[in-house]
Amino acid sequence: MSDRVCFPCTLCCAFFGVPELAKPAGMPCPHRVEAGCGIHSDRPQSCRNFECFWLMDDSFPEDLRPDLCGVVVSFNEDHDSVVIHVDPDRPDALSGEAGTQWIEALMTTFDPVFVVCGDDRMMIRRSPLDPSGQA
């Protein structure tokens, strides 16, 4: 459980489609303002439904907040795998310290982990030599 709020992050708003607004995935939302959502208290249900890992779990450090680190981590639509969405404007976001923190944290529980950046897709697996024997 977490008491976190999104503000001022809106990174996922451009990544995902919002049917109620007829906003396609990959397009900026017209309600996004300089810091946050301009209609936060009246935002559509699909916006309310989406929670990234950083928002859901306050054990992830503050510097992994998506707008700060450039990646949004979430379950896929079926909630059976984990996806790291990399900001296409910051395609190197996963190669820095924050990316390393995310991958190390996620790989302790999930295998594989999927990575999406614009039209690019990648899958990360644990090393077959993982000494934990969880490969």
Residues contributing to the site for ligand SF4 (CB under 6 A): 6, 9-13, 18, 29, 31-32, 37, 39, 43-44, 47, 50-52, 54-55, 66, 72
Q: How far apart are the first and last CA of the chain?
A: 29
Determine the Cα–Cα distance for residues 128 and 110; give it in Å rounded to an integer.
14
CB 16, min distance to ligand SF4, A? 7
Q: How far is the CB of 128 from ligand SF4 (least distance, A)?
A: 32
Q: Rank residues 14 and 107 by Cβ distance to ligand SF4 and give the closer one.
A: 14
Whether the CB-CB separation of 72 and 66 falls below 8 Å is answered with yes
- Identify which of residues 35 and 123 has a Cβ nearer to ligand SF4 in the complex: 35
Are the beta carbons of 7 and 31 closer than 8 angstroms?
no
- What CA–CA distance (Å, rounded) separates 72 from 50? 11
Residue number with CB closer to ligand SF4 (9 or 107): 9
Rounded to an integer, what distance in angstroms lies between the CA atom of residue 128 and that of residue 89? 33
Nearest distance from C-beta of residue 43 to ligand SF4, angstroms: 4
